[in-house]
Structure 1
Amino acid sequence: MIANTENLRILSPVNGIVDLTEERSHFQIKQDGAWTTTSPFLRRVSNYETFLEDCKKGALASLDFKDLPLDKYFSSFQKTDSFEIFLAPYSRYNNLPFLSIIAKEMAEALLEFSQMLAEIFPNARIHNFLNTSGLSFTHPDGIPEYFISKHSKKDIKQITSDIESRKLMYLGPETIFHILRMVYYLEPFTRRHLYVCLVDRKGRIDTESRYFFLNNGQSLDFIIQNFDKRYKVASFESMYESVSPHDIHSLGNFNIYQHNILVLYERLPVIRNAFPCIDCFECNTYCPTDASPYSVIKGNADDFIKSRCIECGICTLHCPSGIDIRTKIVGAKLA
């Protein structure tokens, strides 16, 4: 079952009834069957054209850059171009162990994929961090611009420009996971992992790993059945983003192009009543790119280095005055 949108092809993994949600933002699927992964590894000889066709048929999207179909992403790099490819070990918030999943379930496919990239783009320089030992994740290592800057020793501004001009290709582990599933197991992008994080009344996070491999458009009613007794409020945003809370009974359907984390709260997070800045400089101290978020708070926009800012949210998280610095930064960038 296939439905076309302007930028992406949405595939239904099972037989069922498909219709648009009320806001017409995505399709919801009322399923009448089940879909399980049973496909064997299929060794394939792919070239540039067949690989792009696989990306298109599988409705693959970059899970590192928002709203970017993979066939369009890869086709923006020409076969004879000289550029750099970064195979990164972390997803944006690194909630799930994708490297472990790949190593356990698809090690042979990963090796084939690495070789295929080298053959498709013979002039590209590949930086493979997937098997690099000694790396330890700390936020924002999973943000493409930051990861590349950190390991190439180049300025964030230059990295951003190189990504936009297609001098750099970035593939995180979740994106690679779904590429392998399509190319070597012929399983299109119809399922995605949803990480569920629990936060109690005092704001303490339950560190137990909970994640579900769900079909696109699948109802999230099972969340209500499993967590409703204690957890009443939900958000699809991470701890580093501004929370848009939902009643747990109004979660709707799973959208694989938008959702990958679900935070459940025992109660609605306390609204941050901002106090005046106390000039503690914590925001600048913890800023991983030295963009000077303090300047935004003080109204010194000229001193804020917006080209370095990756909107990671760390400044907001550490502000003792409760100032939503991240939101102010977004506004300053638009000004």
Structure 2
Amino acid sequence: MFSKPFLLQPRTVKETGNRKTVLDEAYTLFPDRDALLLKDFPVRVSVGDPLYKQSSGLVLSPVNGIASLEHTEEGSKIRIVQDGNFIGSKPWIPKVLKKEEALEPMDRLGLVSLDFPEHSLLSYFKSRQKTSLIILAPFTRNQDVDYLPELRKNLECHARFLEVLKSLFPEAQIRDYISGLKSPVKNYAYPWGIPEYFLSQTEKLPFSKIKEILYLGPETLYNLYRALFADFPFIEREIALYFLGKNGGLRKADSTVRIRNGQSLKFLFEEYGPKYSNFTLNSFYEKNPVRDIKKGFYWDIRQNYSLVFLTKHDSGRREFPCVECGECSYNCPTQANPMALVSSFGNFNSSLCMECGICTFLCPSTISLRTRIRTWKEANHGF
């Protein structure tokens, strides 16, 4: 029996101010140390030109401009000074696709599995050639942005992609929660968007089976359909904005912001800087570092999906001994019993742990249980 999923429910705040893209900041990309550069820099580039290839796939130029390569002690970076206008969104045009017509754009247009961001989408598809089950899921990992309305507005495109899946994987069963099957829950609650959890709840499969299944969440499908039916490269991402006030109240902007890869957040910091001095990335469950907005930041669309503004940050917080309150294990959605790692309370069940971060988020002693979990898994299982 699984515990009830934990839900962090923010209030909504209306947007204020005029949000404009600031073009006086170069777009800045940070290749992995083992990345293969595909240009002789400096060079003039156009939107969608391949810049470098790394383990997560092909990285494309987000704008037209002059790209230069700089080397620092922290590593290399590519800076692109924009000259010209953005290319805007294109309408999706449904069309019948052959196998190769579906696979080729995945690589050429730099698509990534946003459910498993360490994989390029093409390599992810190839790694699942023998799959017997395909899941088209309704939720992203944290559901900061709901992509279902956009997908359901384009059901003819969705139908064309289902035909491609049937031709690529003729023996596989397709479970379609986008247009066919009813959503397993009325209202999303974390961690329903984590693939392992979704599969365990809908298909009753153990977490270890995730490597045998082709799993495509709605954000992955959204960017894939933009590529297949509008020839749009993966150079930007919709992000959610959150605001954490002095009283601890969490608010969420009522609309998203579209950010290009490598774009400076200067325009957002100028708008919200007078009230919010710090920020962090993605989810509260992940415990990302808190940063000073005065130091600036360049967005990575493969790693980041939401931005959290903070009015203050207590940098002196430290871990305290476990008080055995039981909050971590009581609220664990899979009953993995994380409390066992910091007390003598039973045993930790690693096969049920999906590292959702709820235990760390709830711990009153600010113990990073997720870190303890990863250390334990590495010591006991080598992963």
Q: TM-score, normalised by structure 1?
A: 0.90
Residue from 326, 330, 354 that aligns with 1:285: 330
2:234 alignment counterpart: 189
Residue from 220, 225, 228 that aligns with 2:273: 228
Distance 2:142 2:79 in 1: 26
More contact order relative to length (CA 8 Å, sep ≥ 6): 2
Local SS of the residue matching 1:29: strand
Taking the TM superposition and a 5 Å limit, the aligned residue runs for 1:114-263 are: 114-131=162-179, 132-133=182-183, 135-156=186-207, 160=208, 162-164=209-211, 167-263=212-308
Structure 1 runs (4+) deviating above 4 angstroms are: none
Distance 1:25 1:259 in 2: 20
Does 2:135 align with 1:86? yes
Q: Which amino acid aligns with 2:375?
A: G
Contact 2:240 2:253 (8 Å CA) reproduced:
no
Aligned-pair distance for 1:232?
0.8
Q: Which amino acid aligns with 2:376?
A: A
* Alpha-carbon distance change, 221 to 251 in structure 1, aligned in 2, over 3 angstroms: same
Identity, in percent, stands at 34
Distance 2:131 2:259 in 1: 38
Residue from 342, 357, 369 that aligns with 1:313: 357
Distance 1:9 1:230 in 2: 38
| Count of matched residue pairs | 325
Query: Which deviates further from its counterpart, 137-146 or 242-251?
Result: 242-251
CA RMSD of aligned residues (A): 2.1
Local SS of the residue matching 2:253: coil
1:18 alignment counterpart: 67
Local SS of the residue matching 1:307: helix
Q: Which amino acid aligns with 2:100?
A: E
Distance 2:60 2:84 in 1: 15
Q: Which amino acid aligns with 2:161?
A: F
* Alpha-carbon distance change, 114 to 135 in structure 1, aligned in 2, over 3 angstroms: farther
Does 2:378 align with 1:331? no
Query: Which deviates further from its counterpart, 220-229 or 34-43?
Result: 34-43
Local SS of the residue matching 1:303: coil
Residue from 329, 341, 348 that aligns with 1:304: 348
Residue from 28, 51, 54 that aligns with 1:6: 54
Residue from 85, 93, 107 that aligns with 1:34: 85
Q: Which amino acid aligns with 1:115?
A: E
Query: Which deviates further from its counterpart, 20-29 or 172-181?
Result: 20-29
Distance 1:97 1:25 in 2: 35
Local SS of the residue matching 1:5: strand
Local SS of the residue matching 2:233: coil
* Alpha-carbon distance change, 155 to 54 in structure 1, aligned in 2, over 3 angstroms: same
Unaligned runs of 5+ in 2: 1-48
Aligned-pair distance for 1:243?
2.9
Distance 1:20 1:231 in 2: 33
Q: Which amino acid aligns with 1:141?
A: W
- CA offsets 1:14-72 (integer angstroms, 9 cap, x no match): 21122457444664433222324342333333233232211011110010113100111
Q: Which amino acid aligns with 1:295?
A: A
* Alpha-carbon distance change, 233 to 172 in structure 1, aligned in 2, over 3 angstroms: same
Q: TM-score, normalised by structure 2?
A: 0.79
Contact 1:64 1:91 (8 Å CA) reproduced:
yes
- CA offsets 1:163-213 (integer angstroms, 9 cap, x no match): 32xx21111111000000000111010111122111112221013334211
Q: Which amino acid aligns with 1:114?
A: L
1:264 alignment counterpart: 309
Local SS of the residue matching 2:232: coil
Distance 1:25 1:95 in 2: 31
Distance 1:319 1:149 in 2: 25
Q: Which amino acid aligns with 1:211?
A: T
Is the helix fraction higher in 1 or 2? 1
- CA offsets 1:92-126 (integer angstroms, 9 cap, x no match): 1100111123224x332222212321232111101
Distance 2:131 2:287 in 1: 39
